[in-house]
């Protein structure tokens, strides 16, 4: 039997597989594919009948995923996209019931473990953390990093997952971390749609994976379209594997292997994946599997129909070459089963899917219904106690009549009752108000928990250790360098990489000499590719390593902002505490020279990365303390060092490896009674200069360095200063309305400092344009001590014109 012989190749131990066992496996695969298809068909119906809001399914991509699943081993990783339900079912990482729970947005992590109802359907993930937020072991699990919606957004993280295997294999000091890796034998599997390969990051990652030679097995599901746009508008020559041919392995063994297989041909796919995985795992080279001739039977998603943009011929071809129909045909022709047995299998599979869907719906609906019942009983007991407004009885009646209530219905009814009983006594309304507290707490946890880590090793749990000094004074860069050296000695999982980080130890020497000391695997040069450098950090940190990913200048962080914003910052939230990636993003910025080397777009950044921490140290000592805090915690952060601070002298802490700077705790740099001046980063020095000038005219400024923008002044200490001074100024070198406006909102609104103001609150910022080049460019673009003096003097003049006569 020719097919049997060929197929034997694709199982791990062919000699142990009898023909019966083989046939059993094929039929089991067919069942999984068929169930998956039924889930897609039923899923679409559930959306169209209004039980779910949006659906995107893996129909047409089933058989290729069975083949991929066969070679996916414990310890391996997937970073993929929304079509991969069949893979998830085949590995037992999800099932039809969970699939529907996600479609309905069931907020229970038990029912919907990928995201606890936070992500739309088709966003897959396994739980990497226990309920306390600690790592589970990865080496005895199939690991799925949590999907995100931006097309190709899975690519940067995928690179990091693959790079981790290389590090675990080649750095012997990491072999002890057996919970994470078996000496780097793990493959990182990527999946992507054909059209998404048009994104720049796809190319950046493919190139980087080839440069570094990492075990990344990339699958492209090629259905010829990206929503309605066909390949001719997407891909040169309409063939992604053909145009990637230049990457093909050369005579030196460098490059990547490229396989193609047709999406409806089970045997061809199984063989391709077997070969692909073998070479990837053993040789640690990237591999591409281009799966062609894939279909999309129901069109792209529930948002539209593909009849609008596919020709009749194409639609007919998709029916003829439907992978499940073809697999069935192959099974019958090969004599592995009969038409009638397969009919029976399909009937059972259809029924199983229907039952699983029903169970998911019942779980979802019944938990809401029991909350509705509880709400109704609260309303009824309020009525019995004398809350006689008609709206209360009406609400109890109406909400019970809603066929499929959601929690918003409870919220709407509750708020309406509260509005319409406002004239009743507090006693009578108490049950409703108590219920409101409970309702908000419950749903707050459901929908707003885990923005950041809630584990015992999050940054707020790191013990504060003050820096100690003797008289040793060094250049600023030597402080951070000493900090990195000490931490790298302590923990072999720490490694740093970026443009010019390796040989020269970064452009400002923060790692100078450390490559010689720790080797190229731990202090490493990278290509100019910020987006995927960030991704390397994300993926490697998910695998238990402690990457310090360097972006050379803050101005170039924009290239890396997508993975920070979409992937890193959302990771805890989008998995409801199921995954984490404690990567440190190191960069340097604020004022130096010219439009692209002195930006400080902190408002843009902090608004894009809620879920990360953002540290803005005023000098290298504070930066080192922040690194020490981060390297003892499990959270991701951005640290922006002051670009003009590396040559400024600082005292070298004697406990450089151990002192920590707490996050969300501002530092009062000088005390004063007249004005509170709030700032951070390089502006601390400008502010201090202005404070000296203001002191000369009798204006006493309380100068506060916030230190971290995220979190911001956790204990609300700034308002305490404002209570004393009754005046507040926010200074930074972002654009007007940038991070200064954020600080103002935090202090005036959140801390209620508005109650204590005697003068209009003020922001002093850079100009709206990018900073011009040269010292004069800086002077006229960025806030200067002259300007800070003038603004604060004017404030005091308005308060007491006699004491401080008009300056201008």
Ligand X SMILES: Cc1ncc(C[n+]2csc(CCOP(=O)(O)OP(=O)(O)O)c2C)c(N)n1
- Interface positions with ligand X (CB under 6 A): 83, 149-151, 193-196, 221, 223, 225-227, 300
603 binds, among Mg ion, ligand X, none (CB under 5 to 8 A by kind): none
By beta-carbon proximity to ligand X, the closer residue of 227 and 406 is 227
Buried-exposed string 731-759: b where 16+ CB fall within 10 A, e elsewhere: bbbbbeebbbbbbbebbbeebebeebeeb
150 binds, among Mg ion, ligand X, none (CB under 5 to 8 A by kind): ligand X
Q: Least distance to Mg ion from the beta carbon of 194, Å?
A: 4
Q: Least distance to ligand X from the beta carbon of 283, Å?
A: 28
629 binds, among ligand X, Mg ion, none (CB under 5 to 8 A by kind): none
Q: Least distance to ligand X from the beta carbon of 683, Å?
A: 35
Q: Least distance to ligand X from the beta carbon of 328, Å?
A: 23
Judge whether 515 and 151 are in contact, CB under 8 Å: no
Closest CA to 639 of 723, 714, 702, 583: 583
> Would you list the DSSP string of 601-632?
-HHHHHHH-BTBEEE--SSHHHHHHHHHHHHT
24 is an active site residue? no
Buried-exposed string 387-397: b where 16+ CB fall within 10 A, e elsewhere: bebebbbebbe
By beta-carbon proximity to Mg ion, the closer residue of 223 and 705 is 223
Judge whether 413 and 372 are in contact, CB under 8 Å: no
By beta-carbon proximity to Mg ion, the closer residue of 193 and 681 is 193
Q: Least distance to Mg ion from the beta carbon of 238, Å?
A: 12
Q: Least distance to ligand X from the beta carbon of 601, Å?
A: 21
51 is written with which tokens? 């039980």
By beta-carbon proximity to ligand X, the closer residue of 115 and 181 is 115
Q: CA distances (Å), 617 to each of 373, 564, 682, in order?
A: 52, 20, 8
Q: Least distance to Mg ion from the beta carbon of 208, Å?
A: 24
Using CA atoms of 708, 561, 621, 712 in order, give the dihedral in degrees to the nearest 10: 0
By beta-carbon proximity to Mg ion, the closer residue of 54 and 233 is 233
Q: Give the β-pairing of 613-615 and 708-710.
A: antiparallel
477 is written with which tokens? 């860069």
The helix or strand, by DSSP H or E, that contains position 780, with its residue range, turns out to be helix 774-781
Measure the N-to-C terminal CA separation of the chain; round to a whole number of Å.
98
The β-bridge partners of 496 are 523, 548
By beta-carbon proximity to Mg ion, the closer residue of 200 and 736 is 200
By beta-carbon proximity to Mg ion, the closer residue of 263 and 783 is 263
By beta-carbon proximity to ligand X, the closer residue of 195 and 675 is 195
Closest CA to 368 of 326, 328, 409: 409
661 is written with which tokens? 């700077």
Rounded CA separation 600/570 (Å): 23
151 binds, among Mg ion, ligand X, none (CB under 5 to 8 A by kind): ligand X
166 binds, among ligand X, Mg ion, none (CB under 5 to 8 A by kind): none
227 binds, among Mg ion, ligand X, none (CB under 5 to 8 A by kind): ligand X
Residue 35's Cα: distance from chain center in Å?
31
Q: Least distance to Mg ion from the beta carbon of 193, Å?
A: 4
The residue whose two tokens read 């971390």 is 177
Judge whether 634 and 430 are in contact, CB under 8 Å: no
334 by DSSP, 3-state: which?
coil
300 binds, among Mg ion, ligand X, none (CB under 5 to 8 A by kind): ligand X
738 binds, among Mg ion, ligand X, none (CB under 5 to 8 A by kind): none
Q: Least distance to Mg ion from the beta carbon of 323, Å?
A: 14
∠ CA 759-761-765, nearest 5°, is 135
Rounded CA separation 653/305 (Å): 65
Q: Least distance to ligand X from the beta carbon of 634, Å?
A: 29
Catalytic pick among 597, 613, 716, 756 = 597
Residue nearest to Mg ion (CB): 193
| Residues at the contact surface with Mg ion, assessed by CB under 5 A | 193-195, 223, 225
280 is written with which tokens? 């990837």
517 by DSSP, 3-state: which?
helix
By beta-carbon proximity to ligand X, the closer residue of 227 and 669 is 227
SS (H, E, C) 519-544: CCCCEEECCCCHHHHHHHHHHHHHCC
By beta-carbon proximity to ligand X, the closer residue of 295 and 781 is 295
> Would you list the DSSP string of 245-293?
GGGB--TTS-SBEEEEEETT-HHHHHHHHHHHHHHHHHH---EEEEEES
Residue nearest to ligand X (CB): 193
The residues that are catalytic are: 597
């Amino acid at each position: 039997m020719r097919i049997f012989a060929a197929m034997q190749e694709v199982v791990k131990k062919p000699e142990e597989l009898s023909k019966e066992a083989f046939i059993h496996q094929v039929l089991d695969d067919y069942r999984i594919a068929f169930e998956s298809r039924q889930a897609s068909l039923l899923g679409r119906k559930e959306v169209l009948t209004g039980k779910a809001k949006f659906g995107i399914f893996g129909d047409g991509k089933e058989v290729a995923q069975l083949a991929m699943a066969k070679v996916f081993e414990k310890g391996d990783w997937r970073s993929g996209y929304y079509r991969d339900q069949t893979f998830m079912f085949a590995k037992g990482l999800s099932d039809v019931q969970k699939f529907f729970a996600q479609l309905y947005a069931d907020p229970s992590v038990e029912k919907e473990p990928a995201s606890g109802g936070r992500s739309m359907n088709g966003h897959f993930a396994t739980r990497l953390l226990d309920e306390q937020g600690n790592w589970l072991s990865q080496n005895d699990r199939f690991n799925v990093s949590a999907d995100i919606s931006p097309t190709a957004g899975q690519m940067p993280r995928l690179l990091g997952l693959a790079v981790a295997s290389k590090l675990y294999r080649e750095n012997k000091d990491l072999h002890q971390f057996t919970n994470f890796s078996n000496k780097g034998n793990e493959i990182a599997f990527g999946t992507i749609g054909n059209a998404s390969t048009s994104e720049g990051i796809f190319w950046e990652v493919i190139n980087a994976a080839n440069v570094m030679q990492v075990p990344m097995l990339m699958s492209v599901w090629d259905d010829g379209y990206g929503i309605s746009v066909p390949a001719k508008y997407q891909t040169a020559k309409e063939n992604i594997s053909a145009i990637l041919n230049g990457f093909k392995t050369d005579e030196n063994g460098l490059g990547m292997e490229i396989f193609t297989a047709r999406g409806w041909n089970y045997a061809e796919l199984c063989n391709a994946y077997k070969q692909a995985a073998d070479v990837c795992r053993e040789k640690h080279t990237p591999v591409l599997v281009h799966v062609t001739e894939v279909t999309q039977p129901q069109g792209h998603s529930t948002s539209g129909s593909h009849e609008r943009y596919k020709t009749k011929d194409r639609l007919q071809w998709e029916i003829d070459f439907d992978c499940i129909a073809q697999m069935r045909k192959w099974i019958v022709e090969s004599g592995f089963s009969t038409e009638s047995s397969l009919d029976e299998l399909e009937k059972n599979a259809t029924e199983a899917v229907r039952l699983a869907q029903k169970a998911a719906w019942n779980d979802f609906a019944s938990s809401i219904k029991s909350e509705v019942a509880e709400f109704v009983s609260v309303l009824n007991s309020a009525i019995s106690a004398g809350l006689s407004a008609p709206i209360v009885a009406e609400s109890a009646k109406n909400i019970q009549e809603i066929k499929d209530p959601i929690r918003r219905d409870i919220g709407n009814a509750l708020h309406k009752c509260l509005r319409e009983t406002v004239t009743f006594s507090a006693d009578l309304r108490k049950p409703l108000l108590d219920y409101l507290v409970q309702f908000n707490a419950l749903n707050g946890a459901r929908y707003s928990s885990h923005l950041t880590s809630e584990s015992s090793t999050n940054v707020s749990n790191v013990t504060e250790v003050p820096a100690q000094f003797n008289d040793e004074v060094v250049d600023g860069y030597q402080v951070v360098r000493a900090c990195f050296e000490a931490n790298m000695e302590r923990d072999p999982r720490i490694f740093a990489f970026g443009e010019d980080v390796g040989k020269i130890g970064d452009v400002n020497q923060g790692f100078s000499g450390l490559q010689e000391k720790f080797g190229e695997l731990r202090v490493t040069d990278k290509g100019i590719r910020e987006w995927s450098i960030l991704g390397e950090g994300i993926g490697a940190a998910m695998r238990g390593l402690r990457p310090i990913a360097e972006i050379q200048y803050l101005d170039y962080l924009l290239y890396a902002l997508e993975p920070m914003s979409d992937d890193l910052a959302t990771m805890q939230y989008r998995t409801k505490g199921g995954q984490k990636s404690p990567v440190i993003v190191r960069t340097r910025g604020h004022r130096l020279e010219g439009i692209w080397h002195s930006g400080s777009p902190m408002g843009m950044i902090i608004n894009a990365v809620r879920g990360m921490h953002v540290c803005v140290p005023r000098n290298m000592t504070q930066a080192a303390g922040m690194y020490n805090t981060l390297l003892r915690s499990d959270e991701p952060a951005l640290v922006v060092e002051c670009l003009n601070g590396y040559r400024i002298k600082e005292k070298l802490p004697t406990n450089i490896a151990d002192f920590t700077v707490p996050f969300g705790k501002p530092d009062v740099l000088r005390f004063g009674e007249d004005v509170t001046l709030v700032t951070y980063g390089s502006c601390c020095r400008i502010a201090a200069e202005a404070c000296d000038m203001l002191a000369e005219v009798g204006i006493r400024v309380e100068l506060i360095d916030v230190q971290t923008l995220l979190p911001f002044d956790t204990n609300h200490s700034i308002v305490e200063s404002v209570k004393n001074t009754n005046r507040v100024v926010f200074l930074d070198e972002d654009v007007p309305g940038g991070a200064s406006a954020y600080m103002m909102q935090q202090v005036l609104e959140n801390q209620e400092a508005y109650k204590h103001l005697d003068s209009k609150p003020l922001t002093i910022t850079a100009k709206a344009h990018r900073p011009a080049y040269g010292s004069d460019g800086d002077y006229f673009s960025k806030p200067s001590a002259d300007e800070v003096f003038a603004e604060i003097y004017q404030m005091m003049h308005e308060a007491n014109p006699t004491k401080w006569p008009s300056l201008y």
